[in-house]
Amino acid sequence: MGPAEAAHAIRVEVVWVPVPHDVRRIQLTLPAGATAREALLASGLLAEFPGLVDAAMGVWGRNCDGDQPLRDLDRVELYRPLTVDPKEARRLRHRRTPALGGGAAARMKA
């Protein structure tokens, strides 16, 4: 990329967590006007994780589609599908909590 193109470039980060505690962060320089999908393609993650082509994505925690234009210093996040309903997970944690009625408030009283 020459000086003229660098003046019209943006820096973005693509983040993917394939499993807990394994964070993949790829820093990219893309042409201005690049989209979230273009950032995913440029990241090289699709070579290792081909299923990401249909992954849900967002920019700074806000869901977006692949056509979302990016700005300088944006972070594109790729999301795994939920394996457990969050409400059900809370119920299960509550049932496993010992005595005092369970929950965080009960643990704070102890």
Q: Quick: pLDDT tens for 29-38.
A: 999 999 999 9
Torsion-angle region of residue 18: left (phi > 0), alpha (psi -120 to 50) or beta? alpha
Q: Quick: pLDDT tens for 46-98.
A: 999 998 998 999 999 999 999 999 999 999 999 988 788 888 888 888 887 76
| Domains and their CATH numbers in the chain | 3-79 (3.10.20.90), 82-110 (no CATH)
Specify the pTM.
0.71
Q: Is the pLDDT of residue 2 over 80?
A: no
Torsion-angle region of residue 60: left (phi > 0), alpha (psi -120 to 50) or beta? left
Do 71 and 10 contact (CB within 8 A), yes or no? yes
